[in-house]
Amino acid sequence: MKKPVTTSMNGSRRNFISKAAAVGTLTVAPGVFLHKAAAAELEVEIVEIDIVEPDLNTSRSTRPLDQDVSNKNRWGMLIDTNKCATGCTDCVDACNQENGLEGKTGPQDTQYIRKVTLKSKSTGHETSLPLMCQHCETAPCADVCPTGASFVRADGIALVDKHICIGCRYCMMACPYKARSFVHEDIKNQKLSAPRGKGTVEACTMCVTRVDNGGLPACVEACTAENHNAMIFGDLKDPDSPISVELRKRGGKQLRSDLALNTGVRYQGLNE
C-alpha cells in the first residue's frame, strides 16, 4: 500500500552531507554550489514508500449457507479508539446506507451505530468511539424478551426476530448500551437485506447477511476502506484470527465489564 510519508533529515545525515560537500569542494570545485543546493533541497523531502499493512480483516465466515449456524465461531469486533477520529462518521454513514436508515438523529429516530465522545473527568483526555450493539454472550435483551424475539445466535450475533417481536420495549429498558431503537413510524424504501417493521425493536445486526456471505460488517469495511483501520472484525474463537492475535497482544476492554456479559465488541485505548 502506497502511503505518503513526510521525513526530515536527522543531524548525522545532515553532517554527512555537509562533509561530503566539503570533500566535493576540494576535489571538484565547480560542483560546490550544486552540492549546496542539493543539500538545501534535502532538508525536507516527501517520499512515497510502500508500507505493507497486514490485512486485519481476513477472518470471515466460510460456512456454506445451507449449513446451520454453529458455536464454532464467535463473531466479534475490536475497536482501537486511538485510531478513531473525533468527527469522523464513516462507519455511521456506511451503516445507515447498508440498512436503509435515513440518518436522522431525532429522539424517535433509529440509530444502529453512533459516535460517542468521551472526556475523562480526571484528566480531560478526549476519546471518540463508535458504539453499537455489543453482541453480548448473555445478552440482557434476550433474557428479558417475553417472546424470545430477541435472541443471540450460536455464533454470537444478537438479533431481533421481527416476526415475533410484540413491541413491548422491555429489551430497550434492559440494554446497558442503549443500543436499541424502536420503529416509531411507517418505513419507506426498506432494503431487502435489512428488513424493518413499524412497532418493533431493532438494532445493529453486525450486518449478519454480509457476515454469512463471507463479508465484513459495513462499518468495518468503511473504516478500513478509508484507511482508518480502527475496526477489526473476526472470529474470537479462532486463536489465529487477527482479532484474537491483536487481543492477545494488546488486550481489549469490554464496556460495562462489571456486568460480566462477555461482549463480542471490544475496545482498545480507553485510558482515563
Partner 1 sequence: MSKIEYTSVEGKSPAYFALLGSLGLMVLIGLLSAYYMEHHGHHVTGMTNQIVWGLPHVFAIFLIVAASGALNVASIASVFSKKIYEPMARLSALLAVALLAGGLVVLLLDLGRPDRLIIAMTYYNFKSIFAWNIILYTGFFAFVGVYLWTMMDHNVYKFKKYAGFSAFIWRLILTTGTGSIFGFLVARSAYDAAIMAPMFVIMSFAFGLAIFLLVLMASYKWTGMELGDAVLRRLRNLLGVFVAAVLYFTVVYHLTNLYATQHHGFERFMLLDGGIYTNVFWIGEVLIGGLIPLAMIYAPGLKDNRTSLGFICLMIILGGMAKVYTILIAGQAYPMELFPGYEVSSSFYDGMVNSYSPSLPEFLLGISGMAMAILIVVFALKVLRFLPASLADAVVDPHAAK
Residue selected from 37, 173, 214, 250 as contacting partner 1 according to rule CB under 8 A: 173
Residues that contact partner 1, how many (by CB under 8 A): 55
Residue 38 contacts partner 1 per CB under 8 A: no
The whole-angstrom separation of Cα 142 and Cα 149 is 8
| 117/213 with CB nearer partner 1 | 117
Angle at the Cα of 110 (from 186 to 234), degrees rounded to 5?
125
Q: Distance between CA atoms of 239 and 235, rounded to whole angstroms?
A: 8
Residue closer to partner 1, measured from CB, 57 or 200: 200
Angle of helix 218-225 relative to helix 90-99, nearest 10 degrees, comes to 140
The nearest distance, CB 236 to partner 1, in angstroms, is 22
Is 14 or 253 the residue whose CB approaches partner 1 more closely?
A: 253
Residue 121 as a binder of partner 1 (CB under 8 A): the answer is yes
Looking only at residues 78 through 117 of this chain, which bind partner 1 when binding is defined by CB under 8 A? 105, 107-111, 114-117
Burial class (CB in 10 A: 0-12, 13-18, 19+), 219: buried
Q: Is 76 in the site for partner 1 (CB under 8 A)?
A: no
Interface characters, 242-271, with partner 1 (x: CB under 8 A): -------------xx--x------------
Which DSSP category does 69 fall into?
P
Q: Is residue 122 part of the contact set for partner 1 (CB under 8 A)? A: yes
Report the residue number, 75 or 267, with the smaller CB distance to partner 1. 267
Q: Which is nearer to partner 1, 145 or 194 (CB)?
A: 145
Dist CA 27 CA 121 (whole Å): 65
CA-CA distance, 84 to 229, in Å (whole number)? 8
Stretch touching partner 1 by CB under 8 A, among 14-22, 141-149, 188-196, 208-216: 141-149
Asked if 144 is part of the footprint of partner 1 (rule: CB under 8 A), the reply reads: yes
Q: What is the DSSP string of 208-265?
A: HHHHHTT---HHHHHHHHTT---EEEEETT-TTSHHHHHHHHH--B-TTGGG----SE
Q: Is 210 in the site for partner 1 (CB under 8 A)?
A: no
| 131: contact with partner 1 by CB under 8 A | yes
Rounded Cα distance between 21 and 36, Å, is: 7
Taken in order 194, 242, 141, 258, is the CA torsion positive or negative?
negative
Phi and psi angles of residue 268, each rounded to the nearest 5 degrees, phi first: -120, 150
Q: Which residues contribute to the site for partner 1 (CB under 8 A)?
A: 105, 107-111, 114-122, 127, 131, 140, 142-149, 164-170, 172-178, 180-186, 198-201, 255-256, 259, 272
